[in-house]
Chain A
Amino acid sequence: MKLKKSVIALFLGPAVAIYLVIFLYPTLRTFAMSFYDIPSLSSKVAEWTFIGWDNYATLSRSPYFLDSVKNVLGIWAIGGALIFAFAFLFAVILTSDVRGKGFWRSLIFLPNTVSAVVLSVVWLHYVFNSSYGLLTTLFEKLGLTALADIQWTDNEHIYYSMIIAFSFGSIGYFMLILNAGIGRIPTDYYEAATLDGASVWTKFFRITMPLLRDVFRTTLVLWTITAFNFFVWSATFGLDDPHTVTPGYYMYQKVFGKGGSVYLEDSFNVGAGAGVGILITVATIAAAVLIGRLFPKDRLEY
């Protein structure tokens, strides 16, 4: 179909303007900012001082930033293992002959629709509570006193507790994508394998996994983007605890932080904050390329 240029411009104009002003311009400006010393958030460009790679050098020496990088890599690995294990489990179960698939899908996706603040509060103040909490009560009833005595939200455990609680809220989304991918694999393959006497495991590793490579790669990239930009739960669950700080949250503290946190000595620095944003983006792109290399696009047709 063809339309007059003026109509095309009218219909597309607002969306394109938003792209330019809200996405392209800030991306380029953040990139530029990361090479300048910037006195305050609202400083004009004339007040900036070019300092080359100094902001990145500062970051590479900051123990807070390096710890936050370690934290986020751990979230990517541990959270990823948890989420994908459960997502695969439920995705496979929900392509079998179980009844009420629609109900189960809705139920497993439900936590993804709940505000992170609500989920955090419920996990912090109910599941992980050390006097009346779910885990403590459960382990006490089972007579497992060692497990019942774990202080889930102390310095030693809060990082892992956060990953568990966060993963619970993320499984559903990945389950749905994997479930749709598995649903597209022709059932004759499984029927033939069943006739040959293949076990559930053999079918999963020999049929499902190889044929799911494209979908798996996409979900892995999605997870990497989510994990590298991990922010909300550091604020809602970690509540400023340095053990849960990720680069995204570190950047927030550095640029928007209202003070009063452990970062006081690691002072306010807009340029370095911009540098964190750039590093996260570069790391995400590098990881996506690497994942693409490890799981090359499949030419398999089915």
Chain B
Amino acid sequence: MRNKGLRLLPAYVPLAAWLAFSVVLFGWVILASLSTTRDIFTNSLLGSGIQLSNYTDLFKQQEMGRYFLNSIIYTVASCAGIALVAAPAAYILGRVKFRGSGFLNLLFVSAMSIPGILISIPLFSLFVGLKLTGSIATLVLIYICTNVPFGVFFLTGFFSSIPKEFEESAAIDGCGPIKAFVKVILPVAQPGIITLTIFNFLGVWNEYFYALIFANDEGTRTLALALQSIVYGYSNTGNYGGIFAACMVVFLPSFIVYLFVSKRIIAGITIGSVKG
């Protein structure tokens, strides 16, 4: 045993280095977010005590609360919308045999590799033409639409693995196809939908490109975009404690979610990726 441990020692060196770097990064930013700018520049973090005002100022003076709420609305509404559109489509593609189902599968897979940069110009003029810009709903709609292909692709596998006896027994009980889907299939497919929603939560919470194009004004801005403009302002006025506090406000929600669901995320990536 001892021999084996010694042999594995070189394997632990890169892991330990990564851990040390992560801890230093994370630890330093937390301490800096509670320090004054002078403490940061003199390398004596927390030297003047804990500065909670770095955080409270963000909410009092920079309206961070409003952007926080915006991002929560974007994330919750988009995640719900994606599941609502993708689940029924994936159910059909995963379980029902009909002409053209292979072709439709291919369409959704190909849509996943269409970059935002390619479609953003017509999307913008389309939304301007429909007078759909400048509200929270705009970006929600964009997030739902652009994430549906991945949602369909991801859930199709889950639905196809459910035994067909579930619908048969539902049919015997007198359920129509829609009732059978909602009452019988959806509960069984719940783990897949939850994993998809976790992916979507992180994706939407951290999204940048579409937010920059479709929601970059005072009322509709996302938390990430607000962070960028706050950092720009603070680095001009020299409020470095505030910069790191703002980072923590954006980072913590996704980190807390990740703490609870990292196993699911990793399993989801691993399953979906092996045979590409």
Q: Is the contact region of chain A dominated by helix, strand, or loop, or is it mixed?
A: helix
Select the stretch in B48-56, B58-66, B72-80, B205-213 that faces chain A. B205-213
Residues A30 and B15 in contact, CB atoms below 8 Å apart: no
Residues A118 and B247 in contact, CB atoms below 8 Å apart: yes
Q: How far is the CB of B32 from chain A (nearest CB, A)?
A: 7
Residues B250 and A117 in contact, CB atoms below 8 Å apart: yes
- Given A7-B178, A117-B227, are A19 and B119 also a contact pair (CB < 8 Å)? no
Q: Complex Cα distance A110/B257, Å?
A: 11
Interface code B1-34, partner A: CB below 8 Å = 1, 0 otherwise? 0001000100110110011001011001100100
Interface residues on B, range: 35 or more
Q: Complex Cα distance A42/B113, Å?
A: 26
Interface code B107-150, partner A: CB below 8 Å = 1, 0 otherwise? 11001011111111111111011000000000000001110110
- In the complex, chain A residues whose CB is within 8 Å of the CB of B251: 114-115, 118
Query: Does A198 sit within 8 A of B, measured CB to CB?
Result: no
Query: Does A232 sit within 8 A of B, measured CB to CB?
Result: yes
Q: Which of A97, A105, A110, A134 contacts B22 (CB 8 A)?
A: A110
- Given A3-B177, A11-B91, A116-B208, are A278 and B118 also a contact pair (CB < 8 Å)? yes
Select the stretch in A53-61, A120-128, A260-268 that faces chain B. A120-128
Q: Which of A2, A11, A125 contacts B244 (CB 8 A)?
A: A125
Residues A132 and B122 in contact, CB atoms below 8 Å apart: no
Residues A231 and B209 in contact, CB atoms below 8 Å apart: yes
Q: Is the contact region of chain B dominated by helix, strand, or loop, or is it mixed?
A: helix
Q: Which residue of A lies closest to B89 (CB)?
A: A15
Residues A42 and B129 in contact, CB atoms below 8 Å apart: yes
Q: How far is the CB of B69 from chain A (nearest CB, A)?
A: 17
Query: Does B175 sit within 8 A of A, measured CB to CB?
Result: no
Query: Does A181 sit within 8 A of B, measured CB to CB?
Result: yes
Residues A30 and B208 in contact, CB atoms below 8 Å apart: no
- Could you tell me which residues of chain A, from 237 to 261, have a CB within 8 Å of some CB in chain B? 248, 251-252, 255-256
Q: Which residue of A lies closest to B81 (CB)?
A: A14
Q: How far is the CB of A265 from chain B (nearest CB, A)?
A: 22
Question: Residues on B close to A: CB < 8 A?
Answer: 4, 8, 11-12, 14-15, 18-19, 22, 24-25, 28-29, 32, 40-43, 85-86, 88-89, 91-93, 95-98, 104, 107-108, 111, 113-126, 128-129, 144-146, 148-149, 152, 164, 167, 177-178, 181, 202, 205-206, 208-209, 212-213, 224-225, 227-228, 231, 235, 240, 243-244, 246-247, 250-251, 254-255, 258, 262-263, 265-266, 269-270, 273-276
In the complex, besides A14-B148, A131-B41, 9 extra interface pairs with C-beta distance below 8 angstroms are: A3-B98, A15-B86, A113-B206, A114-B206, A134-B24, A173-B269, A176-B273, A180-B269, A281-B114
The 9 closest A-B pairs by CB, nearest first: A218-B276, A15-B89, A26-B119, A26-B122, A11-B88, A106-B262, A29-B122, A115-B206, A22-B145
